[in-house]
Amino acid sequence: MTTSITRLASVSLFGLLLASPAMAAADEKLRAAAEQAQPAVIESLRDMVMIESGSSDVDGLKKMADYTEARLKALGAKTERRKATRGAGADIVIGTFEGTGTKKLMLIAHMDTVYEHGILASQPYKVDGVRIYGPGIADDKGGIAVILHSLKILNDAGWRDYTKLTVSFNPDEEVGSIGSGELIAELADQHDVVLSFEPTAASPVAKNDSLLLGASGTATGTMDVKGKASHAGAAPQLGRNALIELAHQLLQTQDVAKSIPGTQLNWTTAKAGTVRNQIPDHATAGADIRLTIPDGVQKLQAALDEKVKNKSILDTEVTVKIEPGRPPFVASDRGRALAKEGQAIYAEIDRTLDIVEMTGGATHAGYAGRSGKAIVVESFGLAGWGYHARDEYIDTNSIVPRLYLMTRMLTELGKKK
């Protein structure tokens, strides 16, 4: 679900720096190179889809790390691998290129998918017209393919108009970047611009490709209720039913976020009792929390603490704890200016590029943009649909435009002083 946030762009020195004249004529050499690269992109997509790499699949993630590292080395990058600090213990792949220009540029994508091991048996790689299906093909192996093949095109053209170009492929974006987020933030702060390669939507309601300027941060809420056990048949009145109190608290807190703009809370799990004939003395519930404001956790925590003071069953104990997750991503005015440059680049090839203000999903771009030091824009990956569901696919009609967008954008960024 997408929501809109209207923001006025303020003029800044860097904003003026990013502004560029209208670009009407296409770069025919780059467009031809993108067209020639399409078969190789499809081959790369197949290679990666055939590697199952769910967020907990250490073996699959190692294969993806081996694959991407080898591809980066073939492009001339100096590579390293760092262990994620939490989670399954997979590797983060980092490739670094040294150039002759002035800008420090960073490209990020993720190697993990949401699918369990063995998914290819029920959802195999297949081609159906302009759609290519496969688990993770859009989210985010399409993004990896755009990075690798855009750099190949520019490498073949001899482009080195940057002082440093860093590529980071992480293994845990789908579980909140729990072991890579801090490294992404650290690396991003060392760069002028960070481009993230999550997919753009190819849904029936999305007429055009897009770039993303905002995504929710995440947090996990836990409600814990302690009551008193007793015999459910012989002496229920002696108990303090934690399940009933939990139900009361869920109902009275379900709309608490509506009074705090920029926050969203949904109770999604619950558990109480172990046997039928005992009044339960313990009950818990879990909440999915989304945030677009930096102090959202604190505001929600205060509101929930106040709400749960109102109890239905006396002598029960109710606590709520919010654990912060991934920070929200909200692009700066400099990021908006860069996205508008992308629109001008798409217009060169007679295509429309939409700018999406906000999505309820989350992205590792939140870590990249956390400090505000780097310009960050999201969704440079391929157009796709069905991710986090069934029959995930990419639209092959997006391959050439997205390669053109990325190669043109990088060359334009390299010209900035």
Q: Which residues contact 235 (CB under 8 A, 6 or more apart)?
A: none
Give backbone dihedrals phi and psi of 318, rounded to 5 degrees, phi first.
-125, 125
Residue 55 CA to chain centroid, in angstroms?
Answer: 13
What does the block give as tokens for 96? Answer: 């670094």
Say whether pLDDT at 408 is over 50: yes
Work out whether the CA dihedral 295, 300, 301, 307 comes out positive or negative: positive
Percent of the chain with pLDDT over 70: 94
Average pLDDT of span 72-83: 98
| pLDDT beyond 70 at 195 | yes
Single-letter amino acid code for the residue at 270: A
H or E segment at 104? strand 104-110
Mean pLDDT of the chain: 93
Model confidence pLDDT, tens digit, residues 127-164: 999 999 999 999 999 999 999 999 999 999 999 999 99
pTM of the model: 0.88
Per-residue pLDDT band at 207 (split at 50, 70, 90)? confident
Q: How far does CA 109 lie from the centroid of its chain?
A: 9
Tokens describing residue 394: 């990419």
Mean pLDDT of 4-18: 34
The H or E element containing residue 164 is strand 164-170
pLDDT of residue 360: 86
Cβ–Cβ under 8 Å, residues 283 and 246: yes
Question: Does the structure show a pLDDT above 90 at 15?
Answer: no
- Tens of pLDDT, residues 231-277: 999 999 999 999 999 999 999 999 999 999 999 999 999 999 999 99
Distance, C-alpha 215 to centroid of its chain: 8
What does DSSP say about strands 230-231 and 278-279: parallel, antiparallel, or unpaired?
antiparallel
Residue 194 predicted with pLDDT over 50: yes
pLDDT at 203: 75
List CB contacts of 295: < 8 A, sequence separation 6 or more. Answer: none
Dihedral class, residue 167 (left if φ above 0, else alpha if ψ from -120 to 50, else beta): beta
pLDDT at site 158? 97
Percent of the chain with pLDDT over 90: 91
Six-digit token pair at 9?
Answer: 């762009």
Contact indicator for 195, 108 with CB cutoff of 8 Å: yes
Per residue in 156-177, pLDDT (tens digit) is 999 999 999 999 999 999 999 9
Max CA distance (Å), the chain: 84
Is the pLDDT reported for residue 205 higher than 90? no
Checking if the pLDDT of 43 tops 70, the result is yes
pLDDT score at 24: 64
**pLDDT of 10 higher than 80:** no
Q: Which residues are known to be catalytic?
A: 112, 173
Position 206 scores a pLDDT of: 76
Pairing of strands 131-133, 126-128: antiparallel
